Structure 1
Amino acid sequence: MAITIRIFHRLVQEHDADVSYQMVRRYVADRKPEILAASGKAAVEAFVPQTHLPGHEAEVDFGDVTVRLAGELVTCYLFSLRMSYSGKAVHRVFASCGQEAFFEGHVHALRTLGGVPRSKIRYDNLKSAVAQVLGLNRARVETDRWIAFRSHFNIESFYCRPGIEGAHEKGGVEGMIGYFRRNHFTPVPEVESLAELNELVDQWDLHDGHRRIGSRPRTVDEYFAVEQPLLMPLPQEPFETGRLFTPRVDRYSQIAVRTNRYSVPTRLIGKRVRVVLHASHLVVYDKNVEVARHERLIAKGSCRLDLDHYLEALIRKPGAFPGATALEQARSAGKFTPVHDGPRPAKSTASGTAPGH
């Protein structure tokens, strides 16, 4: 890893290269065994051809993608679940690659496919699923929420060997992510929201079903038509993929969730609220009543404020209105309406009452 970091820094600092660390890491991972083999220090590993039964196996992975989101260039994360027999793949883009995205990606993919693979799904050692790798064998200590999730969907997990040695064990999905990135994220897509982007992703997935992989005589969708009826049925009950938090509302009418802050109505200052954090948004509840909903922030240490949450306080403190952070965010997002710019309450007189009272 240290060598990869040094290569990345030299490319950026000495050659002004427009590359990401992930790109350099993947290149080094691919080239290292080739260089060792060419030098005679390591033998080229033999690969054994595999036959995948229809409806039995799938592979899952994340890949980073660059998106121009609301005018800002950001890195997002592409979830991919690929059926091993047909090559049918389902994708979803998230603001993070945390456990919420890992779960939501599965739910979306399995619903789109209409069932669950009968045998196993292959994974690398994502922290969302694996709490501890026990040596170099297949034994893993899984996270509690992942055990609950895969038990709910009757998923049998298969973990690849750590590091480069295990990369070929789920080469289908890794190749799929590369294909999807090259064909649909070059040039960089420009969207206003992740919801808009995922609508495009759904269309791209439909289009990719019409292609043929390699020298195969039939399309992806034609092969998937064979295996779709063989998938196990989905559970009838939903699974809550979001993560629960119970922060206290501070005097600025904000709550801290992970590394970011979000506004709630000012009447909740000092109270604890219940927050369900999803991969791309979060919902705030006072008891069982929804009181706020925000798109999840991508950059760490940021805040997202809703001007409507501060209207009650601004009526009492009209002088705070011109410099309010929530006002600037509303203007930048195009959400500043004539209602927000309505008549201001009259300022108090020296006696402490408004004119006419």
Structure 2
Amino acid sequence: MRFTIRPGTDPAGAADATLLSAMGLPGGGVIAVGDTHILVRAGDVPTTNALLLGPLAMTNAGLGSGDTVKAARVQLPVARRVVLSPTSAPLDARHLARALQGIPVTEGDRVAVNVAYGDDAESKRVELQVVDVEPEGAGLVGSATVVGEAGEAKADIVVHPEGHPSGEAPTTAEALLAGLDTELEILTGWLSLLTSTSDLPDVWGLPRVAGVLLEGPAGCGKSELVASAAASSGSAVHEVSLDLVFKPEKLLDLLEKAVKQTTGPAVVFVDRLDAVAGDEGMFRNQVAAIMRWFLDAVAERPRIAAVLGVTSAGRLVPGLTGSPLLPRTLSIPPPDHERRALLFEAGLSKVPHEDIDYESHASRSAGFSGADILATVVHASA
């Protein structure tokens, strides 16, 4: 696929969603461009064939604005080791690995790292050169990638500061999804149908629907479930946060932007909806009217699905729970004994420990949410 380079922002590039889908990258992925590899996402572009790249990406690719280049989809391996040019900045191996997490790197690239990452609100960016990438000269920086500076003794694992457990803190999405295989499979199937490239609902003559209700208590893993199901179905996720929504006008503004700016295949996830549309909401009638408009708008957009996250569907106004545009409800109950044991096992999988009786911990944690269990593991392993 040929693109014309236009100015964008680092680290990820942006391209037309339709062209990315034609390349086998619905929603985005990694492409080879010029002398480097770049993570590209579907976004707003001035012309269909435009590829928006930031200054560093252009330099790494050996290209400039206005150049025409052929780009191809690639599947990079997870890098075993990444060596960067030395710096006087206070950056340890764990800091570097986290700063580059999920980014494709190629030998010769220059990458930007925030010196204040995780510590300081003030951003202090430094640029480093990628000296070496093992095993193939290019790869994705993953959780197991060892990142260090040239001249350092090679290590087989990332060395963590004293007092911290090896491995990342066990608060990953994978851990929260422990025991939710059935729910994940069901939601993935629904989202695959609603966001399919072939627009299957129209092809099969099915009535237009907006999406599904996802109910479950706080900390049960709703956000993680939606993210995983969307990724499996090849869809991007546009999450609408209601944390600072206190008036109907603000909600309408957020939802209008979500509908207008989201390009399929995509999932618009509205969580904690019962906070504004529940039986204790101050403007529940106005909010219900806004949500009915939102569902109509999403139903008219092919390859876009809405997932409404609530604590309990029974707390919503009847006009929403009985809407034909929300024909399905998926429930995530509080974790039972079996799932609590799985959550402890998943949470401790990256923490050094002796033999642990997961069943015993599960018995003593009745009433805990998935997030509660993982928080307990983090506290105990700190």
* TM-score interval (norm. to shorter): under 0.3
Which of these two proteins has the greater Rg computed from alpha carbons? 1
TM-score when normalising by structure 2: 0.25
